[in-house]
């Protein structure tokens, strides 16, 4: 039995590989550790102050955001992401440094939230909260 040869355009192969490399950390993340970094499930879900009707990001914006390196500037992240949906109470992510946490909704997954951490004017990392 012979199988027909499948030929994919190089651009599709490259794009698929790039998406898999970007999303691989999400598949390997430690959800228990995520809960401790966000301050536990109940605190992580409670916005500090008012919520914004916006803060919804697309797959394209998420993919672009994931290319930004930790310790890059806050303004670089804000170029890619819209105004946050809300802000969570600050946490001490590491000794002596209080992290500000902004919440973004995902337009393609209503059960997940992107939480972006800032230490002053530096982008300090991100977490996904799956409800």
Q: Domains of the chain (ranges plus CATH)?
A: 30-130 (3.30.1450.10)
Q: Which residue carries 């898999």 as its tokens?
A: 20
Considering only 3-12, 31-40, 68-77, which range has the smallest mean pLDDT?
A: 31-40
- 93 vs 130, higher pLDDT: 130
Residues 106 and 112 sit within 8 Å (Cβ to Cβ): yes
d(CA 64, CA 16): 15
Taking only the tens place, the pLDDT of each residue in 37-61 is 444 444 445 787 777 777 899 999 9
Percent of the chain predicted with pLDDT > 70:
66
Burial 63-91 (b: 16+ CB within 10 A, else e): eebbebeeeeebeebeebbeebbbbbeeb
Q: What is the pTM of this model?
A: 0.64
Neighbours of 126 (CB within 10 A): 19
């Amino acid at each position: 039995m012979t199988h027909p040869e499948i030929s994919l355009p190089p651009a599709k192969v490259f794009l698929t590989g790039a998406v898999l490399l970007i999303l691989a950390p999400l598949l390997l993340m430690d959800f228990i550790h995520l809960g401790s970094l966000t301050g536990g499930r109940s605190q992580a879900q409670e916005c500090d102050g008012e919520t914004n009707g916006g803060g919804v990001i697309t797959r394209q914006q998420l993919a672009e955001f994931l290319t930004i390196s930790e310790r890059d500037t806050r303004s670089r992240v804000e170029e890619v992401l819209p105004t946050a949906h809300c802000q969570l109470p600050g946490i001490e992510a590491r000794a002596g440094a209080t992290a500000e946490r902004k919440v973004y909704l995902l337009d393609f997954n209503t059960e997940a939230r992107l939480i972006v951490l800032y230490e002053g004017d530096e982008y300090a990392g991100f977490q996904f909260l799956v409800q």
